[in-house]
Amino acid sequence: MVALGDISRYSAEGYGFYTEKDAALAENERHKVEYLEARLDYKNPEGILRFYNKVIEERVFKTPVGFYFLMNLQQFLKKQPGIAEDSIADIPMYVTFDSEFRDQASPARNRIRVQEKKPEPKRSTLLPISLIINAGLIVAVIAMFAIALKADQPNILNYEKALTNRYSNWEQQLTERENAVRQRERELQLTGE
């Protein structure tokens, strides 16, 4: 492991990698390249072309070690007279080279970058609108309480008063009926004797 600046890098086949996992992947690709090199028949360019296109299609290689091998195959195929150049696929790069991560990782780039001035925040017109909406909501809540207090139906604000009134009315009606029944009984007893 070699330290470059404040970024620790892992090395494999002359390439520095940011993570140990990437370096291990490159080492694994080195073994694949050695195996394939021993078995490729460079006397059969058509077979090499099919192999090359298949490897690219299946994304077998992902590190510079594998890409270097592919670049050598590509150069070999371009030199072959029987192979059309448009049949040789480009080597795809599945990474971006101008990323936000790279910009943040390089303090030197941050030092030379011109600092952009942030515009002054404008006074918001949302405050008066917010105050008007809040005042309207307060008026609505007060109106709901007033309606609830004056309503004949029992609710959370006047249920005790409404229930007391209802039971008082029932008691008064029962007392009146009782008195009427007693009065009627007295009249019947007086006339019945």
pLDDT digits (tens, 9 = 90+) for 67-81: 888 889 888 888 888
What single string gives the DSSP state of each residue in 94-114?
-S-SS-HHHHHH-HHHHHHSP
- What is the reported pTM? 0.47
Closest CA to 66 of 98, 97, 35, 20: 35
Alpha-carbon distance of 169 to 85, in angstroms, equals 104
- Tokens 């599945």 locate to 94
Q: Of 11-15, 66-70, 140-144, give the lowest mean pLDDT range.
A: 11-15
The phi, psi pair for 43, rounded to 5°, reads -80, -10
Give the model's confidence band at 4: pLDDT under 50 very low, under 70 low, under 90 confident, else very high: very low
Q: Where are the domains of the chain?
A: 2-112, 155-193
What kind and span of H or E run contains 26?
helix 20-39
Q: What is the mean pLDDT of residues 6-14?
A: 67
Q: CA torsion, points 164, 167, 171, 172, in degrees to nearest 10?
A: 70
End-to-end CA distance of the chain, in Å? 127
